[in-house]
Structure 1
Amino acid sequence: MWARAASCVWSVRSRIESGLNLYIPLTQYRFQLQGNQVPVFEQPVVAGALFRGAEVAF
């Protein structure tokens, strides 16, 4: 499950984009070392990623 928000600025033949992706894992995994009961890493409930990009059309 994910959501995305973005804003765009248009000009003649180029585009600049920035935004945020939000991820909500349906199953949260825990990563453990063999023989250790304490998880080394656990996936968060909600994760996000910022993005920014530029496009030029030829």
Structure 2
Amino acid sequence: MRTIINAWDAFELWLTALPFVFQVLFVTVVVLPLCAVVAIGLDRGTERFDRARPRD
């Protein structure tokens, strides 16, 4: 667990040391698509539960 925490701390320090323009670029290229993939996955996952429930 300590290894994961140390890796996250190193990544966080690296990201915060970047100039603002590169931070924005990182968020635009990496974080936003990742959030979109997670949102689409959750949406499709909840559709399966919605279809399984009978309608009144």
Identify the TM-score tier after normalising by the shorter chain: under 0.3
Q: Relative to total residues, which structure has the larger strand share, 1 or 2?
A: 1
Q: Quick check: which one's helix share is greater? A: 2
Greater relative contact order (CA < 8 Å, ≥ 6 in sequence): 1
Q: TM-score w.r.t. structure 1 length?
A: 0.19
TM-score by length of 2: 0.20
